[in-house]
Amino acid sequence: MKLAFYPGCLVLQRMPEYEATTRAVLRELGIELEIVQQAACCGSPVVESFAADWVYLAAYNLALVERMEHGTVVTVCGGCTNTLTRGARALQDPGVRAEANRRLEPLGLSVTGQVVVKHLVQLLAEREEDLRARIVRPLSIRVALTNPCQAFRPGDVMGFDDPMEPHSLRRLVELTGAEVIEYGGENECCGATLYLAAPGLALAAGRRKLEATQEADLLLHSCGNCQLLLRRFQRLIVRDEKHLRKEVLFLPQLIGLALGLPAEELGLREGAWN
Partner 1 sequence: MELKHPEACTQCGTCVTVCPVEMVGGHAIVTFLAEPDAADYSVWLCTSCWRCQEACPAGVDIYGLMMEQRRREPAPAGYQAAFEHALACGLALQVSQEALDQVRAAWGLESVELPPPNFARNLLRDSR
Which residues of the chain form contacts with partner 1 (CB under 8 A)?
Answer: 9-10, 12-14, 16-17, 19-20, 35, 37-41, 43-54, 56-57, 59-60, 79, 82, 103-104, 106-107, 149-150, 153-155, 163-164, 187-189, 191-198, 201, 204-205, 208
Smallest gap, in angstroms, from Cβ of residue 28 to partner 1? 16
Smallest gap, in angstroms, from Cβ of residue 217 to partner 1? 24
Q: Which residue, 21 or 175, is less far from partner 1 as judged by CB?
A: 21
Smallest gap, in angstroms, from Cβ of residue 157 to partner 1? 10
Q: How far apart are the first and last CA of the chain?
A: 32
Q: Which residue, 66 or 217, is less far from partner 1 as judged by CB?
A: 66
Distances (CA, A) of 5 to 31, 106, 128, 140, 254: 11, 24, 20, 31, 20
Can you list the alpha helix ranges (DSSP code H) found in 105-198?
120-125, 128-134, 155-158, 168-175
Smallest gap, in angstroms, from Cβ of residue 31 to partner 1? 16
In angstroms, the CA 211 to CA 232 distance is 17
- Residue 42 DSSP symbol: -
Q: Which residue, 123 or 194, is less far from partner 1 as judged by CB?
A: 194
Smallest gap, in angstroms, from Cβ of residue 138 to partner 1? 27
Closest by CA position to 72, among listed 40, 33, 43, 110: 33
Beta-bridge partner residues of 118: 74
Smallest gap, in angstroms, from Cβ of residue 225 to partner 1? 9
Closest by CA position to 67, among listed 105, 110, 38: 110
Q: Which residue, 59 or 172, is less far from partner 1 as judged by CB?
A: 59
- Residue type present at position 268: L
Q: Which residue, 37 or 215, is less far from partner 1 as judged by CB?
A: 37
Closest by CA position to 218, among listed 159, 176, 167, 166: 176
Q: Which residue, 195 or 273, is less far from partner 1 as judged by CB?
A: 195
Smallest gap, in angstroms, from Cβ of residue 111 to partner 1? 11
Q: Which residue, 150 or 176, is less far from partner 1 as judged by CB?
A: 150
Distances (CA, A) of 232 to 6, 125, 211, 237, 263: 22, 27, 17, 10, 20
